[in-house]
Structure 1
Amino acid sequence: MSIFDDIKGKAEDLIGDNADKLKEGIEKVGDFIDDKTGDKFKDQIDGVQKAAGDFVDNANKDDAPAAEGSAEPQA
């Protein structure tokens, strides 16, 4: 396992039930940077915001319980 896998695993563990708060924070930080740079790097910031938001969503899916009807068949 590489160091990046280890870091990713720790980040996913920290996300847990805080996904909404994290996504809100990601948006606020991106908007703050856009404001301070006069939107000079808006496209890059938006890309990072989307990637970070997607990471939070994907990490949160891993923790969600299986949906009904997708349970393993009984033997």
Structure 2
Amino acid sequence: MGFLDSLKARLGPAKDKVSDLAQQHGDKIDHGLDRAARMVDQRTKGKYSDRIESGTGRAKEALDRLAHKDDGPGSPPTPPPPPPSGH
């Protein structure tokens, strides 16, 4: 077994644990992300609102993927988010 295979085998249970925690506490994490985004937006006086909103959205999408909210047994994997537009 190669190094990467060994590493993947050891990280598997940790990934499952993170997924379980994301499922159990997803609403609390969403609320925390929103609070942090508002605080940063206030402290920067709205200068980076678009970037803060984009980053918060991406973090929530990642949380959803971790929690496997849309994935049931036998369902296709969630498609990746669309590429950012603009800059």
Q: Structure 2-normalised TM-score?
A: 0.57
The aligned counterpart of 1:23 is 30
| Structure 1: distance between partners of 2:24 and 2:38 | 24
Identity of aligned residues (%): 23
Question: Are residues 37 and 11 of structure 1, via their aligned partners in 2, closer, same or farther at CA, if it must alter by over 3 Å?
Answer: farther
Q: Structure 1-normalised TM-score?
A: 0.64
| Structure 2: distance between partners of 1:65 and 1:49 | 25
Q: What is the CA-CA distance between 1:16 and the residue it aligns to?
A: 3.3
Is there any run of 5+ residues in structure 1 with no aligned partner, and where?
Answer: 71-75
Which string of whole-angstrom CA distances, capped at 9 and with x for unpartnered residues, describes residues 9-47 of structure 1?
Answer: 375454230001001110110010000100101111001
The aligned counterpart of 1:73 is none
Which structure carries more helix by proportion?
1
Structure number with greater CO (CA < 8 Å, separation at least 6) is 1
Aligned runs of 1:1-75 on 2, under 5 Å? 1=4, 9=15, 11-12=18-19, 14-61=21-68, 66=73
DSSP-derived class of the 1:39 partner: coil
The aligned counterpart of 2:81 is none
Is there any run of 5+ residues in structure 2 with no aligned partner, and where?
Answer: 76-87
Runs of 4+ in structure 1 deviating by more than 4 angstroms, as ranges, are none
